[in-house]
Structure 1
Amino acid sequence: MSTTTLKLSDDLKERIAIAAADAGKTPHAFMVEALAAQTALAERRRAFVDAAMTAEQEVAEYGLVYDADAVFSYLHDTLAGKRAKRPKAVKL
C-alpha cells in the first residue's frame, strides 16, 4: 500500500471525525470507504455512459429500436405468468 496525503479544511476534518465515530470507524477507515464508494460510483457511471454511447451507435448503424410500451407490456405479462407476444424491432 502507498501513502497519500489529503489536505482537509478543519471543518471537513471535524465532520469526518464525527461521522466516523457515529459509524464506529476510524476517520481513516471512513475516508477509505468513502473514496472506494465514490470510485465505484464513477466507474458505474462511466460504464453506463459507455453502454449508452454503444447503443446510440448501434441505432445509428442499424436503425432498429423497440417501442417502450410494447416492451413494458411484454415484461408485465411475462412476469405475471401470462403468455406474451415478444416485441419486434422496428426500423427508424
Structure 2
Amino acid sequence: MPKVFVHVHDAGDIEFENDYHSFSRIPVENEYFTLSHDGDWYRVELIIHTPFDEEIEAEIYGVKVDHMEIMKDKLNPDPGFSFG
C-alpha cells in the first residue's frame, strides 16, 4: 500500500492539516477521498509523486467538500429525494 503524505484544508483557508496515510493506490487529481469512515470528504487538488523518497510515494493536497452536495450533483436523485 502506498504511503502518502496528505495535506488537507477547508476551502478559502490556507492552514493545512498534515499527516501520513496508506492508500490502496495514490488518488488522482479531482478524485474524492476521506480519511475515516465518517470523516470529511476532500477533493484532490494536487499530487506530487516522490520516487526519490523511501518513506512516501507521493504527497497529495486536498480541499474539504460538502459530500451531500457532491452526491446530489453526481447521483441526480428524484427532485423530492433527500440524503439527510
Of structures 1 and 2, the one scoring higher in RCO (CA 8 A, sep 6+) is: 2
Normalising by structure 1, what TM-score? 0.18
Instruction: Name the structure with the higher helix share.
Output: 1
Normalising by structure 2, what TM-score? 0.19
Instruction: Name the structure with the higher strand share.
Output: 2
Larger gyration radius, structure 1 or structure 2: 1
